[in-house]
Structure 1
């Protein structure tokens, strides 16, 4: 018994030393300081393109007018503003790692392109643009400092992406697809982007501008491959957290595709074969509920796209079926009534429903 205790204590000490060593090593990967930039300087540098937003992993400018006005109102009231993250780059310019929407809002307001509306506290300023404010208020606004965490030169793109990921996967305003698209750079992620641009996919699975600005197409394609490729292992490791499950899948595929290009070749074939068959059986209506619908429900897309892909895998010469007997029926409607993405049995149920209908010709 005493020997076991001694071994346990020794193991714990080694683990503690290894943990401390790793923390020390990784902590040195990120060197930064904090700086205060007056709004006037920040706006000028952005206009000169000295401060820029990296389109590769930043999201579209998707703040609504209320969000922008709320942010400006907070500054006018002197309230603390969340830190922004900037980084030096090789060409001497400054990359806005996190803070794109705040920066663009400041630029728009200072250029008189944003009219204050729906202010809840500074109600007397509703309807004003920047140049219409009292000159003293304008000067105070322009001289207000925005605190920035400044990542020193040498901070790798991988580290910057990790920072973006950690900030934006914990926020309330960022959709999983936005954070995933920004955080997981790699060949497979690029392939997913390619799929989203596929004309046939966009014809068959339209999205509204609002949802596509939040990368809904990227989310749909990511789920298609993650759920399709893990169907046979009964979604091993899936615990109900969809975002984590899809993130892990994309990250793993990025790593595998670095040394095995066949992964992308096979995935591309699966996607195109699915779309070609879907076009034949679904017609112009595509994955939508009706021919006039402007958007595609995720649950419906998952059921049809993955069900088709699985049926084609089992029977590559699958005949074109007449689906009119069930596509608008109560049973299929019940299967796809809500996303219920965190419920594995419902996901499997709706996918199997379509797969079996196509294989059996029911």
Structure 2
């Protein structure tokens, strides 16, 4: 190969220097107590200093995963850094990577998490934080975890790029990508075909990380699964969302009939038509003109509107005030989709879906 010219080498160096400026960062070592305090203070007003962005609002760790993370902290094992980005306009820190860890620590300190399935610290199984000695509580709260803080000068594009790179560095498969290879059958093919619909894609402004990664198929699987088991979501909570969706998809692949294909196609079209008319510049994003789909929000709007349409087809294509997501007005719907902790308890799933259903049926502004 020919050597690069001096001009080319200079342009390479200039570009590296210029791009490095946009990802300037500093390192900090907050304690667990500080992380939790900054995450929980003013969270009800959506003004907490360390916050979870919309595209990460779903809490997906199960009890075993949460417990093992807490066990690692007690054992002093190395844990991944927390990545955040400073927002210039507010001074708040957006969690780029680490939202499941911070929420788990908050849940543990708040006694919302009872440890289970521990293999090393077995004496901690079936215990909560408040049951520990005061000395051990202090020592746990004083554990430091490194945090990388991206400069406030970084644009939203750079923050999303950082998130993409962190989460795709090992190219982990998303659940629906895995299901495509494991659960093959007529129902899987049906969902894949529906997800190609241009009308449905237009309602799903996904973030860059989820582009071309079967996200529309994941959303449709949730739509059908949560519609079918309404109003009882105990199985979803007991199995966990991912395992419940796996079992639902596996079963449907074995007993999917032509009549059900017809019924579900009608359900899909009915829902998509209504959302297109009602949310023309928003789709399943929480606010007009934004990108990113909150799965709890999608479940509430998609399933709730469909269930309402089943009872009353001539629903007005008007967004009820009670369904507008506004941090200044923490409505019941807002509380049912917020991502503080355990976004998929049976009560929360039923609540968000039923709130949407009743709001559209009542035609309330």
- What is the TM-score when the length of structure 2 is the normalising length? 0.49
Structure number, greater radius of gyration? 1
- What is the TM-score when the length of structure 1 is the normalising length? 0.50
Q: Name the structure, 1 or 2, with higher relative contact order (CA <8 Å, separation 6+).
A: 2
